[in-house]
Amino acid sequence: MKENMQNNLDLATMDSWYADHFEELLEKYAGKAIAVLNNEVVAVADTEQEADQLAREEHPNQVPLVLAIPTEEELVCLL
């Protein structure tokens, strides 16, 4: 149960980081997939799978947060 609570905390922390940096990520990485470890972008690729693979190759003992960053046009469609 303690591990589950830690996972929830980690997810909440990552979610908060993503929300706090969303505009910066959109500006730099729109249309790309990124992998994040320790609040730092460690890989950028065309697909989530590629970003995950690149991050795990460089950081084999960690599980990255992998995100697809939308383009501005995709955001307009969502609104």
pTM of the model: 0.82
Per DSSP, which regions of the chain are E strands?
33-37, 40-45, 65-68
The pLDDT tens digits of the residues spanning 40-50 come to: 999 999 999 99
**Highest-confidence segment of 6-15, 31-40, 69-78:** 31-40
| Identity of the amino acid at 61 | N
The pLDDT tens digits of the residues spanning 50-79 come to: 999 999 999 999 999 999 999 988 888 765
Q: Measuring CA to CA, which residue among 73, 78, 15, 51 is closest to residue 43?
A: 51
- Find the mean pLDDT for residues 19-43: 95
Torsions phi, psi for 55 (to 5 deg) = -65, -45
Tokens, residue 22: 């969303």
What's residue 75's pLDDT? 82
CA separation for the pair 13, 7 (Å, rounded): 10
